[in-house]
Amino acid sequence: MDNRQKEIDNLKDYKYGFSTDIENTRAPKGLNEDVIKFISNIKKEPQWMLDFRLKAFERFKQLKEPDWQKPKYPKIDYQDLYYYSAPKSMDDKPKSLDELDPKLLETYKKLGIPLQEQARLNGIAVDAVFDSVSVATTFKEELTKQGIIFCSMSEAIQKHSDLVKKYLGTVIPTTDHFFATLNSAVFTDGSFVYIPEGVKCPMELSTYFRINASETGQFERTLIIADKGSYVSYLEGCTAPMRDENQLHAANVELIALDDAEIKYSTVQNWYPGDKDGKGGIYNFVTKRGLCKGKNSKISWTQVETGSAITWKYPSCILKGDNSVGEFYSIAITNNHQKADTGTKMIHLGKNTKSKIISKGISAGNSDMMYRGLVDISSKADNSRNFTQCDSLLMGNKCGAHTIPYIKNKNLKSNIEHEATTSKISDEQLYYCNQRGLNQEEAVSLIVNGFCKEVLQQLPMEFAVEAQKLVGISLEGSVG
Amino acid sequence: MLSIESLKAKIEEKEILKGLNLNINPGEVHAIMGPNGSGKSTLSNILSGKKGYEVNGKVTFEGENLLELETEERAHKGIFLAFQYPLEIPGVNTNTFLKTSINAIKKARGEKELDAIEFLKLIKQKSAELKFDEKILSRQLNVGFSGGEKKKNEILQMSILNPKLSILDETDSGLDIDALRIVSEGVNSLRNKENSFLIITHYQRLLDYIKPDFVHVLKNGQIIKSGDYELAKELEKVGYEDFN
């Protein structure tokens, strides 16, 4: 096969695999205080922010990279990465969408997010993060009217310093684990959301992350605060170009729900998974944690994880407020040589707290899938309940599925339920579907979507359809 | 319409069909009767395109070499198999399955696919005809269905897809009298000059409701005798063991 044909074939498999030729401003390679100061400086950050970063970096130097996870990966040389990369035209910040580099806009169009049209037609507010900086936030005006703040993290640090200072690092402290602490030191951008007391956010808020430059790590930081009695639904989508080397993505996402507030956070993660032989792809080592700080608050995570060479994340809920509720709905699909070690943590601290975990893992090809989850009910969390359901679906006989639940109940008045199943798509089921006129891929897609239905139903309407298709595409060629 | 010439089939080195001949014309109903292990289900599997068999011989459907077609392509051409043991597909709504199926077939034929409203209309009408409880259609496909419900669901699918050749693989086994009557009415309502049926059964009972034009006796992988409805009665009296 000549190279051209190879390229076309590759693109067919991963349609987001293009890269955009844009001049970048980069920090020098490597990780040290100077680079951190460079990042802080270029973002014109206040002193407290730089101190936050340096404190994290001090801590980071004492930490050891964890190695207890199932998917192993070659050692990452943290001095051989760029920690800041931004399209050059961002140096003079555009004031509106019209001033954006047309090439950037073109990139987003290829990704299926024409910002202008999306803003006007869909009524979904989009914040787009390209490599390290946030380039456009749509719908700002409409949101501002209701007092909602939805902007890039960099902008929030400058304009809403009090809020950021009050909440940043309260759910994921700078003293957290290796990757989270690294993020605290070098994070470049991300989204910031604040919903004021009593406000129900009238539209889905959405962020698209894209890694474009090579040898770049992406460390974004997202902070969402739902004040008393407010509600917000937030969606995050991710893609990256195809590159032979592995790229590191270590984001931190912090959610805080005050009294009677609700945050719904949905992710459709489709980072480049590497090629059929397992070459290249993103290492998606992300820390996501929500704090149900107030009474009667609720945080719900929904994730559809189809991309990345390695996915290693546990979106968690700390149920501190009495009567608070945490939910985790997950679909994780691995194909070819992809690996995933994912699940959740539900930490029950308050009384009458409830959590629900629905996890659907699908493994195909030579891939390996692990559900790892912790349910921890503290001695003070009277009358608390957890329900966990972990289902695994295997396709073919070279893949693996594992379930490791950690269950700690220190309260006699509380209870935990755990159900788990493992099944396989049988040849008989496929034959039955084929006999009814469905070809192999349509049959797999139908069966898998049925398997994932409970989770797909949790996604906002607009994205449920997209996710359904993605589920089908991710498994193409995995049977037959 | 369907012509089978000296069909032989092996699975894991075991010869099951040993030179079977059969010819079905449009509008005809053929019944195949035979003891356990005579090759009845193998015949229906091979016609519908199940993989895993080593097949020899010639099978044409409307002049086309059937054995070269994929399973789904045979379905697109109008071959339907009512399964002896319909499969459960958890999480997939029965309605969704039916709609996906009919639209996959329509698409392959270059016909216009049904939208949600057209589909609901069709399914309402067909389930009323078959006295099929519509509530079942919103349940997961075959999951928790009783034996009778599963079989009725097969007949409902058949009547919606309106196939040219319907193969019923022991659809009557495990059915009570009422269900048997409903299933038979479903088949009879599809009978016309074009549609043909191949009914595989152990018992004469079903043939009291669906009068076949031809009855064949399958034994040891071959059709050893063909006749009309009277042959089924005779068979019932004598039993397979002594029938030669």
Distance CA B191, CA B188 (A): 5
- Whole-number average pLDDT of chain A: 83
Beta pairing, strands B64-65 & A191-195: unpaired
Instruction: Provide the number of structural domains found in chain A.
Output: 1
The reply to whether A297 falls in a domain is: yes
- pLDDT tens digits along A418-451: 999 998 888 899 999 999 999 988 999 899 989 9
Range of weakest confidence among A161-175, A356-370, A457-471, B59-73: A457-471
A219 domain-assigned? yes
* Single-letter code of the amino acid located at A430: L
For residue A127, pLDDT beyond 90: no
> Among A436, A431, A471, which Cα is nearest to A455's?
A471
What's the gap in Å between the CA of A392 and the closest CA on chain B?
A: 13
Q: Would A479 be classed as within a structural domain?
A: no
Tell me which of A21 and B133 has the higher pLDDT: B133
Enumerate chain A positions whose Cβ falls within 8 A of a Cβ in B.
426-429, 431-440, 442, 446-447, 449-454
Query: In the A/B pair of chains, how many CB contacts fall below 8 A?
Result: 76
Q: Does A124 score more than 70 pLDDT?
A: no
Q: Tell me the residue range of the domain where A34 lies.
A: 3-474
Among candidates A301, A303, A300, A242, which has minimal Cα distance to A268?
A: A303
Would you say residue B244 lies in a domain?
no
The β-bridge relationship of strands B64-65 and B54-61 is antiparallel
**pLDDT at residue number B86:** 95
- Under DSSP, the state recorded for A120 is I
pLDDT, one tens digit per residue, over A12-71 is 456 555 555 556 677 778 889 988 998 899 889 999 999 999 999 999 999 999 988 888
**What whole-number percentage of chain A has pLDDT above 90?**
46
What is the Cα–Cα distance from B40 to B22, expressed in whole angstroms? 13
Residue A317 · residue A355 · CB < 8 Å: yes
Residue A429 identity (one-letter amino acid): Q
- Assess if residue B115 is contained within a domain: no
**Average of per-residue pLDDT across B4-17:** 93
Query: Residue B81 has what pLDDT?
Result: 97
pLDDT at A22: 58
User: Is B21 contained in some domain?
Assistant: yes
Is residue A8 over pLDDT 50? no
Q: What is the pLDDT of residue B35?
A: 87
Residue with tokens 């339907």: B80
Rounded to a whole number, what is the distance in Å from the CA of A438 to chain B's nearest CA? 6
The pLDDT, as a whole number, for residue A469 is 77
Is residue A133 within 8 Å of residue A232, measured between CB atoms?
no
Which band of pLDDT confidence, cut at 50, 70 and 90, is reported for residue A277? Answer: confident
Please list every residue in chain B whose beta carbon sits closer than 8 Å to the beta carbon of residue A331: none
Q: Which residue would you say has higher pLDDT here, A461 or B188?
A: B188
B75 and A437 within 8 Å at the Cβ level: the answer is yes
Give the minimum alpha-carbon distance from A454 to chain B in angstroms, rounded to a whole number: 8
C-alpha B87/C-alpha B72 separation (Å) is 16
Partner A contacted by B132 (CB < 8 A): no
pLDDT band for position A11 (cuts 50, 70, 90): very low
Does B140 reside within a domain?
Answer: no
Question: Residue A282 — pLDDT band, cuts 50, 70, 90?
Answer: confident
Q: Residue B132: phi, psi to the nearest 5?
A: -100, 125
SS3 A5: helix
To the nearest whole Å, the CA of A83 is away from the closest chain B CA by 44
Q: A464-473: per-residue pLDDT in tens?
A: 777 777 777 7
Q: Is residue B135 part of a domain?
A: no
- Percent of chain B scoring above 70 in pLDDT: 100
Q: Is residue B66 part of a domain?
A: yes
Lowest mean pLDDT among A84-88, A293-297, B202-206: A84-88
Q: What is the per-residue pLDDT for A119?
A: 45
Q: What is the pTM of this model?
A: 0.82
The closest CB to that of A434, out of B72, B80, B97, belongs to B72
Give the domain extent around B167: 2-86+146-238
In this prediction, residue A213 carries a pLDDT of 54
Return the residue in A391, A433, A452, A453 with the most chain B beta carbons within 10 A, the one to mutate for interface testing: A433
Q: Which residues of A touch B51 (CB under 8 A)?
A: 427, 431
In chain A, the residue whose alpha carbon lies closest to the alpha carbon of B160 is: A436
Asked whether residue B95 is domain-assigned, the answer is no
Q: What is the pLDDT, as a whole number, of residue A115?
A: 52
The two three-digit tokens of residue A358, written as one number: 């629905």
Residue A141: inside a domain: yes
Give how far Cα A385 sits from Cα of A203, A351, A375, A381, Å.
31, 10, 10, 9
**Best mean pLDDT range from A10-14, A128-132, A284-288, A454-458:** A284-288
Scored b (16 or more CB within 10 A) or e, A187-217 reads bbbbbbbbbbeebebebbbbbbbbbbbeebb
Give yes or no for residue A135 having a pLDDT over 70: no
CA distance B55 to B42: 11
Q: For residue A192, what pLDDT is reported?
A: 93
Would you put residue A438 in left (φ > 0), alpha (ψ -120 to 50) or beta? Answer: beta
Question: What average pLDDT does the segment A259-275 reach?
Answer: 88
Q: Which candidate, A432, A363, A441, places its Cα nearest to that of A396? A: A363
Between B173 and A162, the higher pLDDT residue: A162
Q: How confident is the model at residue B236 (pLDDT cuts 50, 70, 90)?
A: confident
Q: Burial of B218 by CB count in 10 Å (0-12 exposed, 13-18 middle, 19+ buried)?
A: buried
Chain A residues lying within 8 Å of B97, measured CB to CB: 436, 446
pLDDT digits (tens, 9 = 90+) for A380-431: 999 999 999 999 999 888 889 999 999 999 999 999 999 999 988 888 999 9
What CATH code is carried by the domain that includes residue B182? 3.40.50.300
In three-state secondary structure terms, A288 is strand
Supply the pLDDT for residue A48: 95
Instruction: Yes or no: say if B161 and B186 are a contact pair by the CB < 8 Å rule.
Output: no
Chain B residues with CB-CB distance to A426 below 8 A:
87
Å from B82 to nearest chain A CA? 10
Q: Which of A434, A442, A448 to mutate to test the interface with B (most CBs of B within 10 A)?
A: A434
Interface test with A, best of B79, B80, B92 (most A CBs within 10 A): B92
Number of folded domains that form chain B:
1
Contacts of B86 in chain A (CB under 8 A): 432
- ipTM computed for the complex: 0.96
| Residue A130 counted as domain residue | yes
Structure tokens, A288? 């996501």
Residue B219 maps to a domain: yes
Sort out which chain A residues have CB atoms less than 8 A from B71's CB and list them.
Answer: 431, 434-435
